[in-house]
A and B are shown apart, each in its own frame.
Chain A
Amino acid sequence: MLCLLFLRDRCLSACAGHWALRRMKPSQRINLALSRVPAWPLYIVGGLVPFWYLYLGLTGGLGVEPIEALEHRLGELALQGLIAGLAVTPLRNMTGVNLVKFRRAIGLVTFYFVTCHLLVWLVLDVQILSQIWADILKRPYITIGMIGFVLLIPLAVTSNNWSIRKLGPLKWRRLHQLGYAAAILGAVHWVMLAKGFQIEPLVYLGIVVLLLAMRVPKAVKRAVA
């Protein structure tokens, strides 16, 4: 008898669980699934990607001019990372899918890509110290890229719980809005160095502008309130 009661109980609770799951919106179901996915693999995969490219470059996989190819691929990856980071909030607002728990990893890995891109430019591409400095000052697209990188440094440094506590969420959030400027500068950096009329860099710039524009209505509402 007891045994039967127990079985009935199990069955009821299982049915209730199933019923609740069925009542969930798709976004909630995705969020539930994502809650079981840890963020740490992003660091490992992201950390290895530049080394994979380096390996390709050393073994002929990047063509006959591996320095330029490596530099461009890392730059493009960095821009994709910036876009992914900027997409988190609009995605949540529009669809309810919440990727906020991955955003720190996205941001830090992106900063790492930007740093690798810069290092390839410094060490493998330009090589000559005096020319590096001259380029930063003299060439607008390099100046702009460099400013974008510098803006990301405080963001990378404060991407930890201690800094959020220390700064307070409001100040911390305001500081991290520097990422908006960095994304714009990164995309403009590519548009400016393209020769002729090239679609790809303009598409990236368009996406960045769009992702920032999607934040405007909420910001206006906040300002009014």
Chain B
Amino acid sequence: MAGRYKSPLTHADVTPKAAWLNRRQIIAGAMAAGGASIASPALASLGARKTSYGSGLEPNTFEEITSYNNFYEFGVGKDDPAQNAGAMQTSPWSVVIDGMVDRPGTYSMDQILEGQTLEERIYRFRCVEAWSMVIPWVGFELADLLDRVGVQSGARYVAFETAVIPEVMPGVRRRVLDFPYVEGLRLDEAMHPLTIMATGIYDEPIPNQNGAPMRLVVPWKYGFKSIKSIVRITLTDSEPPTSWNKANAREYGFYSNVNPTVDHPRWSQATERRIGGGLFAARQETLMFNGYENEVAGLYEGMDLSVNY
């Protein structure tokens, strides 16, 4: 159900659309003058429900959110996804929903979105690499989708899978990871009102490099848990494998909750750098559960978070 999650931020805290559109035009103009060109996306508004989410956060610009991405299917460089992902066809798109559900099947995006109320949610986004952004997502609660397909009583986990399209994904051809990219959540994490399926950013359809046409967003976990361009959702009774855990179990656990007190073996997680501060950006302290401690700490009561990292 939309509107369950409340927060003090108002829509007035978002960079006005006119302001960032304007900036984009200036940049596009400058790039065109410089001989380069960028695709100008169709400015179709999704008409997401204006809500008050976030907590005094200033969202990153559309450029920042869409030009600095980790999407290894399209290359390991931060600008590779923005350069390469445009070749991915996201319409038509369908998602297989199977496993322990009452109504398994192949659902088109239209069927998935039918009757869903799209909401704007301004969330912190913390990458495991110790950088962060604030993103005004547009989406709906995953719980609403799961309720519709009917989760069976024995199901305890949700597994997700990203599309694999080698023709347009150079990273897949280079086997940077064991593709398809897979992720998973415990069912209670998946049903949490903060967990959304995002289909837009800044009230526009989500760009391919950010995980079009639909991606997961779990704001209290490191970004790699928020799997992109989903083609399969499977309800299971056992913990599903997850890509980074398969690649390096010592460094990436199943839970991967944002936690400043549990370091990544190769770097500290105590601080982060918010993208957009330029060359002299100061680091800031990372918040427990990425600032969503009040909402989600209860999910992990009694668990040793340094073991279940």
Contacts and interface: CB of A to CB of B under 8 A. Distances in A.
Interface of A: 54, 57-58, 63-68, 70, 124, 126-128, 131, 134-135, 139-141, 192-199
A54 B283 CA distance: 19
B174 A199 contact: yes
A66 B278 contact: yes
B270 A67 contact: no
Q: Could you tell me the dominant secondary structure of chain A's interface residues?
A: helix
B43 to A, nearest CB: 21
Contacts of B78: 63, 65, 68
B271 A124 contact: no
Interface stretch (B11-19, B47-55, B60-68): B60-68
Contacts of A58: 278-279
A141 B76 contact: no
Interface of B: 63-64, 67-68, 72, 76, 78-79, 129, 131, 174-177, 247, 266-268, 270-271, 273, 275-276, 278-283
Nearest to B61: A64
B281 A67 contact: yes
Contacts of B63: 64
A135 B278 contact: no
A198 B267 contact: no
B68 A131 contact: no
A63 B279 contact: no
Given A196-B76, A198-B76, A131 B279 contact: no
A57 B280 CA distance: 10
Contacts of B129: 195
B247 A134 contact: no
A197 to B, nearest CB: 5
Given A58-B278, A135-B267, A64 B68 contact: yes
Contact of A57 (B270, B273, B279, B283): B279
A124 B279 contact: yes
B247 A196 contact: yes
Contact of A63 (B67, B174, B247): B67
A131 B268 contact: yes
Contacts of B270: 131
15 contacts: A57-B278, A64-B275, A65-B68, A65-B78, A66-B278, A67-B279, A124-B280, A127-B283, A128-B283, A141-B266, A193-B266, A196-B176, A196-B177, A197-B174, A199-B174
A140 B280 CA distance: 26
A64 B60 CA distance: 10
Given A128-B283, A135-B267, A63 B176 contact: no
Contacts of B271: 128, 131
Contact of B268 (A66, A134, A141, A195): A134
Contacts of B64: 64
A193 B68 CA distance: 19
A195 B278 CA distance: 24
Contacts of B177: 196-197
Contacts of A196: 72, 76, 176-177, 247
A157 to B, nearest CB: 30
A66 B282 contact: no
Q: Which of B76, B174, B279 lies at the interface centre, i.e. has the most chain A CB atoms within 10 A of its CB?
A: B279
Given A63-B79, A134-B268, A127 B282 contact: yes
Contacts of B282: 127
Given A57-B278, A196-B247, 7 more contacts: A63-B67, A65-B273, A127-B282, A141-B266, A192-B266, A193-B266, A194-B76
